[in-house]
Chain A
Amino acid sequence: MTEYSDRFLVGSQREQVSRFRARVLLFVPLAAILFQVYVPRFFDFLGYLELPLLVTIYFALMRRSQIGGLFIGAFIGLAQDSLSIKQPLGMYGIVKTLVGYFAASVGMRIDVEHSFIRLLLIYFFYFFHQVMYWVMLRGLLGKQIGFDVKRTLIMGVLNAVVGVTLFHFLDKLREPT
């Protein structure tokens, strides 16, 4: 790759980095977590939605910064852990940190503006999130629980569909370039 092409790519990536206001970065994750812990009390079927995960994926993809992505994932995950009394702090934090890091890595390399790409990425990262969480439950906490692949795949589709919609809404909150 030539020096000219390197400059072009860097310049292109800088142009694609989405910027958000600080309050958006703070409010949207908190709202997602609040939804995760509050809404399922009234609408049980909405408990299958992983809004904190979807928000993490979105900000990581759009920020295109690995460090930013992992910190966003760590922050949202720890916040989610702090609201789930049954799990020790760090379980969701570790998993969402990995998701944020890898999502940012992917966002740096491919165009994540397309809805189908987003659908696939959400589907993949949801599956990855669930697998990693199951591994940590077994590895760290020693819980002998099974992994329902079929249910996870179905829920992945559901979250992917919801995620694409959510991403479209969150795109409105980006600062204009």
Chain B
Amino acid sequence: METFLNRYRNITVLLLVIFAQLVLVAVQVRNDQDVRLVRIWTITAITPLARILETARSGTLGFVSDYVLMHDERQDNRRLQTELDRLKMENQFLKSEISTADRAKALLAFEARTPSKTIAARVIAAGAGADSKVVFLDRGSRSGVEKGMPVVTPDGIVGEVIAAYPTASEVMLVTDPEFAAGVVSQKNHVAGTLKGQGQANCKVDYVPNEEKVDIGEWFYTSGDDRIFPKGFPVGVVRVVRKGSPYQEILVEPTGMARGLEAVLIVVEGVHQEIPEAPPANAPVYIGTPPPAAPGTQPATESGIAGTAADRLIEKYREIGTVENHKYGEGGVGAKPPDFNIKLPAPGTQPPAGAAPNGAAKPPASVPPATKSNPPAAAPETPPAQPKTQPQDQ
């Protein structure tokens, strides 16, 4: 160091003297803003150094801080991920609850609207088979559920109770291959038999080729099967093809369109008129039916008495008339009419007001081979016994 100063002594002294005089000048001189030059120089000289020091300090401390924070960040990240998963599940659960509440609300509205007596039930399990179209409900025989009762939703029919246990009941869905029900089209009142196919769509069988069924048309229960009361929506026609000997009609069932969670078990069915307009949530537009010709009866009242089911209905109506019993009234466990009594000779017409509710009474005068009925010459068993139909074929 000493050698260095000796070697550069002259230039060092020069720089010191120059620097001292520069400071002297800077102390005296002020800039335009009346700030002394020495202050400007000092700040200008100090600021970059301070900036460098600050950058180094913040960088170093920041790195250390970030390292420490990242150590904690991993735990926070794990905790937040867990919380996110929990919230996602909670969100899903709440969405499901809202959906369930909507369905329950619709179910309540439908229950209050329909004349049939129903009890609400929840689907608690599905069938064990891979292609099983069976579900279990949380209402059983203790709640008045019996085998053969229809199961519906506000959107349409769902299935039929095939077994009633004390606390639960087993329901065969409309899509089950063994399921069958009498149906009738809304527009032209073409009658047929709804059969499950094990797929999403069901088939409407026994509709002659000459009958007119349009795509988008609705099918309703006809009440012929003695299971489903007349007037419940079944589904929308998606495919119509000519076949031999009957048309091939595929219907998309609407009862399970919005999921199958809450249903109604019809414990006392009441027939209703088939509405002229499709349900409010119908996906297609269907025009109003043409006016009936003078002297002809409306299509809705076309006779369907030619089938075995129709005959059975007539018999039961007559029994009800004789015993002064109104179907659809009385609570669960009420005394049923005596179906074994002797009736008047065949051909005797029952009183007009004998039909339950007066809604589904088919006129006896209509011949069996009306356009709404399956052809009399059909080789198959008439579709009034739905559950046995597929087996017979």
Contacts and interface: CB of A to CB of B under 8 A. Distances in A.
Given A66-B10, A70-B13, A90-B24, A97 B29 contact: no
Given A66-B10, A67-B13, A142-B31, A97 B25 contact: no
Given A88-B28, A140-B37, A70 B17 contact: yes
Given A88-B29, A94-B21, A66 B14 contact: yes
Interface in A62-85: 66-67, 70-71, 74, 77-78
B61 interface: no
Nearest to A97: B17
B78 interface: no
A98 B29 contact: no
Contacts of B21: 74, 77-78, 89-90, 93-94, 97
A123 interface: no
A140 to B, nearest CB: 6
Given A78-B21, A93-B24, A97-B17, A141 B9 contact: no
A87 B22 CA distance: 13
A71 B16 CA distance: 11
Nearest to B23: A90
A6 to B, nearest CB: 16
B24 A97 contact: no
B29 A140 contact: yes
Interface size class of A (residues with CB under 8 A): 10 to 19
Contacts of B22: 90, 94, 140
A90 B28 CA distance: 9
Contacts of A66: 10, 13-14
A101 B14 contact: yes
A93 B14 CA distance: 12
Interface string B24-45: 1110110110000100000000
Contact of B18 (A67, A78, A97, A141): A97
B35 to A, nearest CB: 13
A interface SS class = helix
Contacts of B28: 88-90
A72 to B, nearest CB: 11
Given A89-B25, A140-B25, A140-B37, A94 B31 contact: no
A21 B24 CA distance: 30
Interface in A132-148: 140-142
Interface in A105-126: none
B25 A94 contact: yes
Interface in B24-78: 24-26, 28-29, 31-32, 37
A45 B298 CA distance: 136
A91 interface: yes
Given A88-B25, A89-B24, A141-B29, A94 B18 contact: yes
Given A88-B28, A140-B37, A142-B31, A98 B18 contact: yes
B25 A91 contact: yes
B324 to A, nearest CB: 122
Q: Which 5 A-B pairs have the closest CB atoms?
A: A88-B28, A90-B25, A90-B21, A90-B24, A66-B10
26 contacts: A66-B13, A66-B14, A67-B14, A71-B17, A74-B17, A74-B21, A78-B21, A88-B25, A88-B29, A89-B21, A89-B24, A89-B28, A90-B24, A90-B25, A91-B25, A93-B21, A94-B22, A97-B17, A97-B21, A98-B14, A140-B26, A140-B29, A140-B37, A141-B29, A142-B31, A142-B32
Interface of A: 66-67, 70-71, 74, 77-78, 88-91, 93-94, 97-98, 101, 140-142
Given A77-B21, A90-B25, A101-B10, 6 more contacts: A66-B13, A70-B13, A90-B21, A90-B24, A94-B25, A97-B18
